[in-house]
């Protein structure tokens, strides 16, 4: 499912939702699709598999707690806008 085992998102700004502060210029280390650490950006940890995310922001996944999914492909639209979880109110399994 994850062709790249290890990846670093370099120089990304992180909105944690814990408070109003933004963590600027962070490196997010991902291993097999799981965030393993969030560290201040350094030049030393540049690996072969990294994405320069300068001037980009990362937020936690969003929830939509009242949707009416009719097609499994509708999920792609939610993911495109950062919605990673939904509660389907259709009353039947859509996916």
Spatial contact of 62 and 83, defined as CB atoms under 8 Å apart: yes
Confidence of residue 53 (pLDDT cuts 50, 70, 90): very high
Determine how β-strand 62-67 pairs with β-strand 34-40. unpaired
What is the arithmetic mean of pLDDT over 83-91? 86
Helix (H) or strand (E) holding 64: strand 62-67
User: Domain map of the chain by residue range?
Assistant: 6-58, 61-95
Distances (CA, A) of 50 to 42, 71, 75: 13, 34, 27
Spatial contact of 85 and 61, defined as CB atoms under 8 Å apart: yes
Q: What is the pTM of this model?
A: 0.72
């Amino acid at each position: 499912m994850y062709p790249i085992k290890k990846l670093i998102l370099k120089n990304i700004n992180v909105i944690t939702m814990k408070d109003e502060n933004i963590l600027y210029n962070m490196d997010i280390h991902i291993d097999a699709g799981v965030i393993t650490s969030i560290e201040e950006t350094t030049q030393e940890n540049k690996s072969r598999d990294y994405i320069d995310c300068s001037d980009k922001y990362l937020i936690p996944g969003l929830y939509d707690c009242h949707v009416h999914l009719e097609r499994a492909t509708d999920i792609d639209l939610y993911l495109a806008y950062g919605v990673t979880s939904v509660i389907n109110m259709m009353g039947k399994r859509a996916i």
